[in-house]
Amino acid sequence: MKKLSTALIFFLCVGCSQNVPQQGTTSSAPATTATAPAQEATTSKNPEMDRFINDLMAKMTLQEKIGQLNLLAVGFDVTGPVVSKNVDEKIRSGQVGGVFNTFTPVAARKLQEFAVNNTRLKIPLLFGYDVIHGHRTIFPIPLGLSTSWDMDMIERSARIAAEEASADGLNWVFSPMVDIARDPRWGRIAEGAGEDPYLGSQVAKAMVRGYQGDDLTQNNTVMACLKHFALYGAAEAGRDYGTTDMSLQRMYNEYLPPYKAAIEANVGSVMTSFNEINGIPATGNKWLLTELLRDKWGFDGFVVTDYTAINEMIPHGMGTEAEVGALALKAGTDMDMVGEVFLKHLDQAVKEGKVTEADINTACRRILEAKYKLGLFQDPYRYTDDNRATATIMKPEFIDASREIARKSMVLLKNKNNVLPLKQSGSIALIGPLAKSQRDMIGNWSAAGDWKKAVSVEEGIRNVVGNKVKINYAKGANIADDAQMLKRLNAHGGQLDLDTRTSEAMIQEAVKVARASDVIVAVVGESQGMSGEAASRADITLPGQQLELLKALKKTGKPLVLVLINGRPLALKWEEENADAILETWFAGTQAGNATADVLFGNYNPSGKLTTTFPQVVGQVPLFYNHKNTGRPYGGQLLDKYKSRYLDVENEPLYPFGYGLSYTTFNYSKPQISKTTISPTESLEVKVDVSNTGNYDGEEVVQLYIQDLVGSITRPVKELKGFRKIALKKGETQTVTFTLKPEDLKFYNYQLEHVLEPGDFKVYVGPNSRDVQEQSFKVQ
Ligand code: NOJ
């Protein structure tokens, strides 16, 4: 565990009377001389909650209400430029609604006791944290979770994270991140579910269900926070925090669906994004936060900013600190993360008539409602039981789940001559800067994860095959040779050692080791800090001398198996042309090494499929499967000049969306459709027979896409509208039936109406977005 902050040391319990206003009864808060005017009428569906909060708010001063809108970072790792100051004093004077970065039952209890015992109205705090892909037991990074295409598993990962986080003092998690991302230069592509709105929506719902369960008042559920609202993944040039600017049609059809899905799944809170949206930063964007989110989508939780996002509207060019504070509140922001702009300016803003007390009441009520929904007024200490933490955190079944989910997330990109699975005999040359890494296994945003508990690939191989296989190791290359890059990565927890030998010497050693072994397993990729927040890369090939290393290894003539560890699609043209096998493992979590060895040695047959397109070269990006056609599509005629193409590279990706191999083979029949013409209110059944024609039992993700051939606005060449992950024994055939509903054929037209336009459609079914078979149908 990391050290307690100095502020927390001050929070040793002082008397601890538990006189919190009691949820479910009328408030026991002491009568005061509150200055608040009558409370605004509420529209919540819970009259008991409304009565309770009305009662409480009637006792609150304006300053105390503003205090509820303030979220501070207390202790542990702080993920941005501002560290909250004088926390104890601020809590005591009712200036804090919630904290983040404080966890463990002891620390959370102390802080909660401090708030409850030292404030006038004894309102409990929210405890938030970046629980992104697991809390203590770490699962694959979200991009990896998505490549499992297994919604039950994804939900289970969030459920386990909620069990652990809630046992660890937390009641609020800053997840799921559902930003559609199509640019692999953007480091945060690692944190989402990839490029597709339909898949992204299913993942968003599964995550919210996993965190929140059916009942937020249970002590093993936590409130989720949908982020980053909105369009954060569309940053220009893939540079983090960059500008976004897009048509409303693209926004509604391609970027907004996962956010909307999470709202429909009843997510309790929403975090604003750092970027601007068509000229107005999200945090001050009333259209986004009020008209769309609340008025159209019916969101009734609270909106928190991202870290200092209100303050950041100053460099965005939106005005002074006081002005951007008022702008944010008026737009629909309820809680200010770390920036303390609300705290500093809202009081005065009311006096000057820039905002009204009613605006503040609205925001305050939403935050109090969240606390009520979590049951905090009933028992502020419900998440701080030490025994529960000991019994829950990293328990064996969670570790087993982590291994299982990690295996399911891995994607086999190439397997020439079935070099994989490896024989459990002979010798392997285990080479590469990531072969022994533990730190990198748990990836970025593994905030409370302990990398020392992670299993490296080397250890995993030893665990799985013991002495049956001789391992000959060489590092072969540094993960990066650029001293500046290493310095930056290490300044943020990189744990990277620079081997000071020349790269020639390291490569020579690796070649020697390879020559003395039967097969090469090269564990290469990125260090965890090379993706994630503020970790964009303009060059998405293997960093450092790793490619040189692979070229030298190739010359030995030994079978070359690549185990990739990375947080984004990489440009792997040479690797695809020259390696015998490539296994994409992402940052697979606490059990990464064991899971990788399970796959390498055939104890698990890989079943993951890509959820982002892999380009051949970075110059092709953004490259995504569900693009529009052009008026001049390239049809493959080399000398056709006036076509939409590059002179120096093909249009095609290296690996398409949905792609991934198995140790077995699957055969697809041509899809059959129930009718060739349907009415606009009818559903269509699509059936396909999938057979396991190879030598292993295996799982397959059967994918269904549609194309709307003619529309009032142009439509994508393909859109995912269904998928099914099935298990097939060798020799087995299953019929998979999809039901395409009218809803699946709709889109937002030029006027942003959600419509189904009669006409001609195609439906495609296959193992990925490229290798499909089709049928045609008509809606009339
Ligand atoms: C900034 C990140 O953008 C966001 O995802 C995270 O939840 C907050 N910091 C809090 O750490």
Distances (CA, A) of 523 to 435, 442, 564: 5, 15, 6
CA distance 420 to 416: 8
Distances (CA, A) of 471 to 99, 460, 468, 596: 48, 12, 10, 15
Q: What is the pLDDT of residues 434-462, one digit of tens each?
A: 999 999 999 999 989 999 999 999 999 99
Residue 657 predicted with pLDDT over 70: yes
If one residue of 232, 306, 308 were mutated to test the ligand 1 pocket, choosing by the most ligand atoms within 8 A of its CB, it would be: 306
Contact, 345 vs 336, CB < 8 A? no
Hey, what are 678's tokens?
Answer: 């349907």
Reduce the DSSP state of residue 453 to 3 states and report it: helix
**Phi, psi for residue 119 in degrees, rounded to 5:** -105, 155
Ligand 1 centroid–CA 325 distance in Å is 19
**Does residue 276's CB lie within 6 angstroms of at least one atom of ligand 1?**
no
Per-residue model confidence (pLDDT) at position 547: 98
Hey, what are 630's tokens?
Answer: 């052009």
Neighbouring residues of 540: CB distance < 8 A, sequence distance ≥ 6: 184, 185, 568, 569, 570, 571, 615, 618, 621
**Does residue 655's CB lie within 6 angstroms of at least one atom of ligand 1?**
no
Is the peptide bond between 656 and the residue preceding it cis, with omega within 30 degrees of 0? no
Atom of ligand 1 nearest to the CA of 177: 5
Average pLDDT over residues 169-179: 98
Angle, CA of 234, 239 and 241, to the nearest 5°: 75
Per-residue model confidence (pLDDT) at position 42: 59
**Does residue 306's CB lie within 6 angstroms of at least one atom of ligand 1?**
yes
- Provide the pairing of β-strand 280-281 with 276-277: antiparallel
Ligand 1 centroid–CA 80 distance in Å is 8
**Does residue 272's CB lie within 6 angstroms of at least one atom of ligand 1?**
no
Q: Which residue has the tokens 């490259």?
A: 623
How buried is residue 55: exposed, middle or buried, by Cβ count under 10 Å (0-12/13-18/19+)? middle
Residue 151 predicted with pLDDT over 70: yes
Per-residue model confidence (pLDDT) at position 118: 95
Of the candidates 332, 108, 21, 376, the one whose C-alpha atom is nearest the C-alpha of residue 222 is: 376
Average pLDDT over residues 128-157: 98
- List the residue whose alpha carbon is closest to atom 1 of ligand 1: 307
Per-residue model confidence (pLDDT) at position 24: 60
Hey, what are 286's tokens?
Answer: 């009333």
Per-residue model confidence (pLDDT) at position 497: 85
Per-residue model confidence (pLDDT) at position 45: 86
Which helix (H) or strand (E) element contains residue 99? strand 98-100
Residue 34 predicted with pLDDT over 60: no
**Does residue 738's CB lie within 6 angstroms of at least one atom of ligand 1?**
no
Q: What is the pLDDT of residues 189-225, one digit of tens each?
A: 999 999 999 999 999 999 999 999 999 999 999 999 9
State the pLDDT confidence band at 12, using cuts at 50, 70 and 90: very low
Atom of ligand 1 nearest to the CA of 191: 5
**Does residue 150's CB lie within 6 angstroms of at least one atom of ligand 1?**
no
Q: For residue 148, give the DSSP letter.
A: T
Contact, 448 vs 168, CB < 8 A? yes
Helix 47-58 × helix 357-373 angle, to 10°: 130
Hey, what are 222's tokens?
Answer: 């936590």
Ligand 1 centroid–CA 61 distance in Å is 30
At 43, the amino acid letter reads: T
Neighbouring residues of 441: CB distance < 8 A, sequence distance ≥ 6: 451, 454, 455, 456, 565, 587, 588, 589, 590, 592, 593
The torsion of the CA quartet 356, 361, 363, 364, rounded to 10 degrees, works out to 140
Q: What is the pLDDT of residues 269-279, one digit of tens each?
A: 999 999 999 99
If one residue of 271, 335, 336 were mutated to test the ligand 1 pocket, choosing by the most ligand atoms within 8 A of its CB, it would be: 271
DSSP string, 458-492: HHHHHHHHGGGSEEEEE--S-S---HHHHHHHHHT
Neighbouring residues of 296: CB distance < 8 A, sequence distance ≥ 6: none
**Does residue 445's CB lie within 6 angstroms of at least one atom of ligand 1?**
no
If one residue of 100, 174, 531 were mutated to test the ligand 1 pocket, choosing by the most ligand atoms within 8 A of its CB, it would be: 174
Among 487-491, 559-563, 668-672, 735-739, name the one with the lowest average pLDDT: 487-491
Q: What is the pLDDT of residues 616-645, one digit of tens each?
A: 999 999 999 999 999 999 999 989 999 999
Average pLDDT over residues 463-482: 96
State the pLDDT confidence band at 483, using cuts at 50, 70 and 90: confident
DSSP string, 164-203: HHHHTT--EE---B------TTSGGGGGS--S-HHHHHHH
Residue 8 predicted with pLDDT over 90: no
Per-residue model confidence (pLDDT) at position 26: 41
Q: What is the pLDDT of residues 389-419, one digit of tens each?
A: 999 999 999 999 999 999 999 999 999 999 9
Average pLDDT over residues 692-716: 98
Angle, CA of 196, 202 and 203, to the nearest 5°: 85
Angle, CA of 165, 167 and 172, to the nearest 5°: 40
Q: What is the mean pLDDT of the chain?
A: 94
Atom of ligand 1 nearest to the CA of 273: 3
Contact, 550 vs 522, CB < 8 A? yes
**Does residue 179's CB lie within 6 angstroms of at least one atom of ligand 1?**
no
At 13, the amino acid letter reads: C
pTM of the model: 0.95
- Burial state string for 548-569 with b = 16 or more CB within 10 A and e = fewer than 16: bbbebbbebebbbbbbbbbbbb
Per-residue model confidence (pLDDT) at position 85: 75
Residue 470, Cβ neighbours under 10 Å: how many?
A: 14
High-pLDDT (> 70) share of the chain, %: 94
Q: Which is catalytic among the residues 168, 196, 306, 334? A: 306
Ligand 1 centroid–CA 589 distance in Å is 20
Ligand 1 centroid–CA 228 distance in Å is 9
Annotated catalytic residue 306: yes
How far the first Cα of the chain sits from its last, in Å, is 63
Residue 3 predicted with pLDDT over 80: no
Per-residue model confidence (pLDDT) at position 209: 98
Ligand 1 centroid–CA 273 distance in Å is 9
Per-residue model confidence (pLDDT) at position 482: 87
Q: What is the pLDDT of residues 48-94, one digit of tens each?
A: 999 999 999 999 999 999 999 999 998 754 344 335 778 889 999 99
Per-residue model confidence (pLDDT) at position 44: 80
Per-residue model confidence (pLDDT) at position 87: 87
Query: In order of start, what are the domains of the chain with their CATH numbers?
Result: 401-620 (3.40.50.1700), 666-779 (2.60.40.10)
How buried is residue 164: exposed, middle or buried, by Cβ count under 10 Å (0-12/13-18/19+)? buried
**Does residue 130's CB lie within 6 angstroms of at least one atom of ligand 1?**
yes
Ligand 1 centroid–CA 162 distance in Å is 18
Average pLDDT over residues 542-567: 98
**Does residue 227's CB lie within 6 angstroms of at least one atom of ligand 1?**
yes
State the pLDDT confidence band at 38, using cuts at 50, 70 and 90: very low
Per-residue model confidence (pLDDT) at position 321: 98
Angle, CA of 39, 45 and 49, to the nearest 5°: 55
State the pLDDT confidence band at 19, using cuts at 50, 70 and 90: low
**Phi, psi for residue 738 in degrees, rounded to 5:** -110, 145
- List the residue whose alpha carbon is closest to atom 3 of ligand 1: 306
